[in-house]
Structure 1
Amino acid sequence: MRLKTLARASAIAVIAGLAAPAFAQQTVTWWDFFAGGDGVRMKALIDQFNEEHDDIEIEATTLEWGVPFYTKIRTSAAVGQGPDLMTYHLSRMPLGLAEGVLTPITAEDLEAGGISEDDFFAGALDSAKGPDGTLYAVPFDIHSIVLYYNKSYLEGTRFLDDNGELTGISSLADFEEALATAKENGAESPVTYATGDDGGVFRVFYTLLSQQGGTLISDDGEVLPGDSMDKAVNAVEIMTKWHDEGWQPEQALYEASVALFTSGKSAFQMNGVWEVPTMNDLAANGELGFEWGAVEIPQLMDSQTTWADSHAWAIPVQGDEEMDPEKRAAVMEVIGWMEKHAIQWADAGHIPAYKPVAESEEFKVMEPNATYSTLADKATYDPRSEVAGVASPAYDAAQNIISPAIHGYLSPEDAVAQMKSELESRMN
């Protein structure tokens, strides 16, 4: 009789909506490295997820970007004190694999999140895999450098079409003609980028190298193999010419390089898509004195490609323990939800790596993102090497060797030879 009473009570509770959930609420501990506008947008996504879910709660912590973040991941994962879910740059995938801090993500995991490999751009997906094809992360976006332009310096020239959009740049000669024209029209620095910082120098150098078909580090670990030395020298010579002609700023740090463009002193800016919100905000507040646009970096050399990276989701190892299956399912549900809401992240200038959002009508009218989203299929990611990627020896070499060269303190040949030697020494 007691069993029947309990059964009847349980049935009544279910009908009344009072039954306990099938699974206890899962708390997903989350670490990211997002600051500024990215941080604001990610916090809004997390808050929205938590509001919409009673069975899963994200408990988020933001850590310092770069080396501190990846060092913290390594040490915490080793002792099982890391997060359940973390953001990760795909350019640091080789480091994560070498350190053994990443767990494979299976087809069943993806299914639990309502997503599949076919949902993602091939370049980003390939960069999320190990050498054997095992998936270790889920791409969230594609972020690259793009070419911002100030229309006022190009009015009446062949570089603006009838709709006021950038046109006529399909070679290095075209671009340099546009720079010379902008200087004649009063631009203080016709093209600005962070000529004194690691990221700005590396991304422009790597784009010029990649457009020539050059390789910084091969898959088997050779630095500047074959004729890539000559192509790297050519890239440095181009950047040096831009300096010598007075077309780019002198040893500009990141903030200064951005200020040159936003203050109307530069006709072009080679910078990340993450500055799109800055431009939009300034324009909306009436603080921008010119019309602007942004496009994919034009084909300056032999092929159309641009440096790119991706923010991605990864699940770190838990020391010697395996993650509870219910917790892992909750983590994948978080990942899937974030991917399906990536249009809100695209507001930060990024291109969604999740194709259903990138191909949606909502994204197709998001400008200038939709205009430069063509780069998603043609982007070149950082070399698959432990010494490459953000906050890596390759970036250090750009700041400490390539930047002095483009300012005349080293010959391009000596700079490339030093870069090769430095990266080879860091591999040993």
Structure 2
Amino acid sequence: MARMLGAAMGAIIAAGVFATAAQAQETVTWWDFLSGGDGVRMKQLISDFNAEHEGEITIDATTLEWGTPFYSKVRTSAAIGEGPDIMTYHASRIPLAVSQGILQQITPEDWETMGLSEADYAPATWDAVTVDGKQYAVPFDTHPIVLYYNKDALAEAGLLTEDGKPMGLDSREGFEATLKGLKEAGAEFPLASTTADGTFMFRTIYSLMGQQDGELMSDGEFLAGDNAEKLQNALAVLQGWTNDGLQTTYTDYPATVALFTSGESPLMINGVWEVPTMIDLKEQGKLFEWGAVELPVIFDHPATYADSHSFAIPANSGKEMSAEKKAAVLEVMSWMAKNSLFWATAGHIPAYGPVTESADYQGMQPNATYSSVTENMIFDPKSTLAGVAGPIYDVMSTYFVPTLNGEMEPAEAVEEIKYELNDLQ
């Protein structure tokens, strides 16, 4: 009898332990590289997720330094099984990460569990997280460059269309006429561009290459065939604007923003992440009427460089993720995608289609105006040398800066770039 009671008591205790384990809260270790306004917004999303999933899942988040430091830490940590459960990752870095074996595949079963699918994303965005037919991240946004404009200055110069956009967005001749019109109206430099930073200017240059159907890499070779000529064409246009005083010279990032927000330069090419800056200044009564649109068509058709913040799962060496942990991670990624409307307040375009198609998003300005860019996006070439802080940027930046500022001929710059890029392989 005592033996039977003991066995029964043991079964009760065991059942209690298993019940407790089944209801145990999963802690998801999270790393990101988001600072400034992005960081503030992501922290809010994490807080909202934790509140909604109280007692079930909690995100334990850490923010690390953006760029090379972040990706170096991910690689070394994953190699010893000490990486996070989930992390933010630039889509442009995925080919390198896959070659290093540090990302887990997001399997078809994972997508089904998350309630997400290829149909929910723009083709270019989906392709950006795909390597050899497999997906390695869940896209969260796209963050292209756009053309910011001073509506007041354009209206005063008679260069604003009836629908409140700059004139001349559909051709090189038209856009250059707008630049010259603004100069005649008194703007010393009509267009503010970050011409002191070739890495940043890659975005504009690559966009103009894409408008000619140019590719930085094809069949494993950089600037093969007529792609070198297309890069030269892009550089020649931008250099011409500088030489004619239509674009700022040797201007760093803060100065570019300052020239636009002060009203000195009525136009600016910059990332969508500056939208919150403009909104805040306008609400404070410190900014003119403004807008943001897709880049002008300088060559054959619209094309704009973009990258994507995405969520990835590191392949932590020797550390298999439990089924419970995996379920929690998938819930985090799914929830973030479906609740990304708030992320749009950072200027980014949510990658999840049902959000950008919603009435709430379509009512956001200027976001809804420039969201058309998702139909014309081009991402970095799929190369282990590409992506944020990748070596191809270092090579090109060396030649972009003097060329854009009129101190080197485009043809010479392209010749040097082509040689050095192919020498990296």
CA contact (8 A) 1:115 1:336 kept: yes
Please identify, of 196-205 and 97-106, the stretch whose mean Cα deviation from structure 2 is larger: 196-205
- Is the deviation greater in 278-287 or in 390-399? 390-399
Once the two structures are superposed, residues 196-217 of structure 1 have per-residue CA deviations (whole angstroms, 9 ceiling, x without a partner) of 1134310111011110111111
Amino acid at match of 1:402: F
Off by >6 Å, runs of 4+ in structure 1? 3-11
Q: Whole-Å Cα distance in 2 between the matches of residues 140 and 324 of structure 1?
A: 24
Aligned 8 A contact 1:402 1:416 in 2: no
Aligned residue number for residue 34 of structure 1: 34
CA distance in structure 2 between the aligned counterparts of 1:171 and 1:87, rounded to whole angstroms: 37
Using the TM superposition, name which of 107-116 and 51-60 deviates more: 107-116
Residue 114 of structure 1 aligns with an amino acid whose one-letter code is G
How far does residue 77 in structure 1 lie from its aligned partner after superposition?
A: 0.7
Match of 1:283 in 2: 282
Mean Cα displacement is larger for which, 161-170 or 135-144? 161-170
Give the match for residue 72 of structure 1. Answer: 73
| 3-state DSSP of counterpart to 1:387 | coil
For structure 1, which runs of at least 5 residues remain unmatched after alignment?
Answer: 14-18
Shift of 1:152: 2.5
* Per-residue deviation, residues 204-259 of structure 1 (Å, max 9, x unmatched): 110111101111112x3211111111111111111111110111112111111111
Q: Which residue of 2 aligns with 1:170?
A: 170
Normalised to the residue count of structure 2, the TM-score between the two structures is 0.94
1:242 is paired with a residue whose SS is helix
Moved more, 202-211 or 382-391: 382-391
SS of match in other structure, 2:200: helix
Q: Report whether the alignment pairs 1:221 with 2:220.
A: yes
The separation in 1 between residues aligned to 2:123 and 2:78, in whole angstroms, is: 29
Query: In structure 2, what is the equivalent of residue 194 of structure 1?
Result: 194
Contact 1:158 1:167 in 2 (8 A): no
Checking the alignment, whether the CA contact within 8 Å between 2:159 and 2:181 is kept in structure 1 is no
Q: How does 1:209-248 map to 2 (within 5 A)?
A: 209-218=209-218, 220-248=219-247
Output the amino acid matched with 1:258. Answer: V
DSSP-derived class of the 1:154 partner: helix
2:135 equivalent in structure 1: 135
Cα offset, 1:126, TM superposition: 0.8
| Cα offset, 1:51, TM superposition | 1.4
Deviation at 1:112, TM superposition (A): 2.5
Which residue does the alignment assign to 1:374? 372
Q: Deviations over 1:23-42 (max 9, x none)?
A: 42111111100010000000
Task: Describe the superposition over 1:3-49 as per-residue Cα deviations: whole angstroms up to 9, x where unpaired.
Answer: 889999999x9xxxxx7473421111111000100000001111111
Shift of 1:186: 1.5
Q: 1: CA distance between counterparts of 2:121 and 2:269?
A: 26
Q: Write the distance in 2 (CA, Å) between the matches of 1:168 and 1:253.
A: 27
Selected match of 1:325 from 323, 327, 345: 323
Instruction: Answer whether contact 1:152 1:291 (CA < 8 A) is retained.
Output: yes
Matched to 1:284, the amino acid is: E
The residue aligned with 2:345 is 347
TM-score by length of 1: 0.93
Q: Secondary structure at the match of 2:306?
A: strand
Aligned to 1:250: 249
The residue aligned with 1:16 is: none
Residue 112 of structure 2: aligned partner = 111
3-state SS of 1:69 partner: helix
CA distance in 2, matches of 1:417, 1:199: 18
User: What are the superposed Cα offsets for residues 161-211 of structure 1, whole Å, 9 maximum, x if unpaired?
Assistant: 234333432111111111111111121221112111134310111011110
How much does 1:320 deviate? Answer: 2.5
Structure 1 Cα separation of the partners of residues 21 and 121 of structure 2: 33
Corresponding letter in the other structure for 1:262: T
Please state how far the C-alpha of 1:157 moved relative to its aligned partner.
5.0
Which residue of 2 is the match for residue 301 of structure 1? 299
Which among 391, 400, 407 is matched to residue 389 of structure 2?
391
CA contact 1:145–1:271 (8 Å) conserved in 2: yes
SS in 2 for 1:371: helix
CA distance in 2, matches of 1:296, 1:107: 34
* CA positional deviation for 1:345: 0.4
The answer as to whether partners of 2:120 and 2:353 remain within 8 angstroms in 1 is yes
Partner deviation per Cα, 1:256-301 (whole Å, 9 max, x = no partner): 111110111111111100000000000001111x211100112111
Q: Is the 8 A contact 2:103 2:313 kept in 1?
A: yes
Q: Partners of 1:398 and 1:366 in 2: how far apart?
A: 36
Aligned equivalents of 1:229, 1:332: Cα separation in 2: 43
- Note the aligned Cα RMSD (angstroms): 2.0
- In the alignment, structure 2 segments of 5+ residues that lack a partner are none
Identity %, equivalent residues: 51
Q: How many residues align?
A: 418
Describe the shift of the 1:168–1:411 C-alpha distance in structure 2 as closer, same or farther (beyond 3 A): closer
Distance in 1, matches of 2:186 and 2:389, equals 36
Q: 1:198 to 1:34 in 2, by over 3 A?
A: farther
Within 5 Å, which residues of 2 pair with 1:396-411? Answer: 396-411=394-409
Q: Give the structure 2 partner of residue 273 of structure 1.
A: 272
Q: Which residue of 2 aligns with 1:95?
A: 96
Give the C-alpha shift of residue 304 in structure 1: 1.0
What is the CA-CA distance between 1:305 and the residue it aligns to?
Answer: 0.9
Would you say the 8 A contact 1:28–1:331 is kept in 2? yes
Q: Secondary structure at the match of 1:104?
A: coil
8 A Cα contact 1:239 1:406, kept in partner: yes
Find the residue that maps to 2:384 and give its secondary structure: coil
SS in 1 for 2:28: strand
Cα distance in 1 between the residues matched to 2:11 and 2:166: 72
- For 2:207 and 2:44, the matched residues in 1 are separated by 33
Secondary structure, aligned partner of 1:155: helix
Using the TM superposition, give the Cα deviation of residue 314 of structure 1 relative to its aligned residue in structure 2, in angstroms: 0.4
| Aligned-partner residue type, residue 357 of structure 1 | V
Give 1:252's aligned amino acid: T
SS of match in other structure, 2:135: coil
Q: Distance in 2 between matches of 1:126 and 1:373?
A: 18
Structure 2 SS opposite 1:147: strand
Cα distance change, pair 319–162 in 1 and its aligned pair in 2 (3 A): same
Query: What displacement does 1:153 show?
Result: 2.4
